Structure 1
Amino acid sequence: MSQLEIVSRREFAHPINKLWRAWTNPEHLKVWWGPNGFTNTIHKHDLRVGGTWRLTMHGPEKGNYENEARFTVVEPEKRLEWDRVSQPLFYVTVVFDKIDEDKTSVTFKMKFYEQKMYDTIVKFAPEKNEENFDRLESELEKM
């Protein structure tokens, strides 16, 4: 792991195809994406290499946070990668590993381009990524 990476992992007691749907279907994604208290408006989700993902994250207290990324790797039920083109800039890799028929491991990696941005984000991202995984778990239970 590089010094400019934040890596979060979790095992989910759900099959890999369900995890993939939760990560790639905007109807599910908008429900669980982001830390506790956030809601989302997904404006575009063109899931293909070169496709754009544009959303607004609505903060629990105040504020709207515009996000845009470009998908660089889309390997169904294996891997998703995207490059953020809105601040803060970083590259995301999500790896899906089938443990067995009803268990999947997800590795979420954020790779930063600059030390200063990494130093800022690493102070809160690991905890917020865990909140995100908790929200994903809740959405998986409803699916």
Structure 2
Amino acid sequence: MAATGRDAPEQSATADREIVISRVISAPRELVFEAFTEVRHLSRWWGPEGFTTTTRAFEFRVGGEWDFVMHGPDGTDYQEWIFWTEIAPPERISLRHGESRGDPNAFESVLTFAPDGAATRIEMRTVFPTKELRDEAVEKYHAVEGGRQTLSNLAAYVTEIVLKGVED
């Protein structure tokens, strides 16, 4: 007999519009969190492999914005805009991400930073306005692989900082 009602396994009401990516990073969560708070850090690791970032404006505070351009390895420029909606150091960052302020296709992301022994488990949970926009992000922009590469770049960057601290 199939489970129904309260006996059915819970599924998120947004599951068909979500992308969830996580990674364990060998660094303290305060450092991993800090890598998101300052543009000098973000410009060193943000984006998939081969991308670079040029920041036009950056204010890390609730209600603040990050206006930037991601430069693809093929020379394509991608206009980007992030609006910080919640900041709870060193546990959580919530944001709205689109091409510009007022973008009707902007998506919501929540990043959580949880201790995992001496390491940090970071999770990026992104919810798109529609299933179609999520599918387009996955198929056309390779959002899942790009997200994994971005977290890999973050891991390499903070590991480098940790190693430099040990050497000093």
TM interval, shorter chain, is over 0.9
Q: Is residue 95 from structure 1 mapped to residue 108 from structure 2 by the alignment?
A: no
* SS class of match (2:48): coil
Spell out, residue by residue over 1:17-52, the C-alpha distance to the aligned partner (whole angstroms, 9 max, x if none). 110111212111111111110000112221111111
- Aligned counterpart for 1:15 among listed residues 23, 28, 51: 28
The aligned amino acid for 2:158 is L
CA–CA separation in structure 2 for the residues paired with 1:35 and 1:83 = 19
Q: TM-score, normalised by structure 1?
A: 0.93
Q: Cα distance, 1:125 vs. partner?
A: 1.2
Q: Cα distance, 1:84 vs. partner?
A: 1.9
* SS class of match (1:56): strand
* SS class of match (1:24): coil
* SS class of match (2:151): helix
- Aligned counterpart for 1:41 among listed residues 51, 54, 57: 54
Count the aligned residue pairs. Answer: 142
Identity of aligned residues (%): 27
* SS class of match (1:126): helix
Q: Matches of residues 106-117 of structure 1 in structure 2 within 5 Å? A: 106-117=122-133
The aligned amino acid for 2:152 is D
Cα RMSD after superposing both structures: 1.3
Q: Cα distance, 1:110 vs. partner?
A: 1.1
Q: Which runs of 5+ in 1 are unaligned?
A: none
Q: Which residue of 2 aligns with 1:126?
A: 144
* SS class of match (2:120): strand
Q: Which residue of 2 aligns with 1:68?
A: 81
Q: TM-score, normalised by structure 2?
A: 0.80
CA–CA separation in structure 1 for the residues paired with 2:144 and 2:69 = 21
Q: Which residue of 1 aligns with 2:39?
A: 26
Q: Which piece of structure 1 moves more, 103-112 or 120-129?
A: 120-129
Q: Which residue of 2 aligns with 1:138?
A: 156
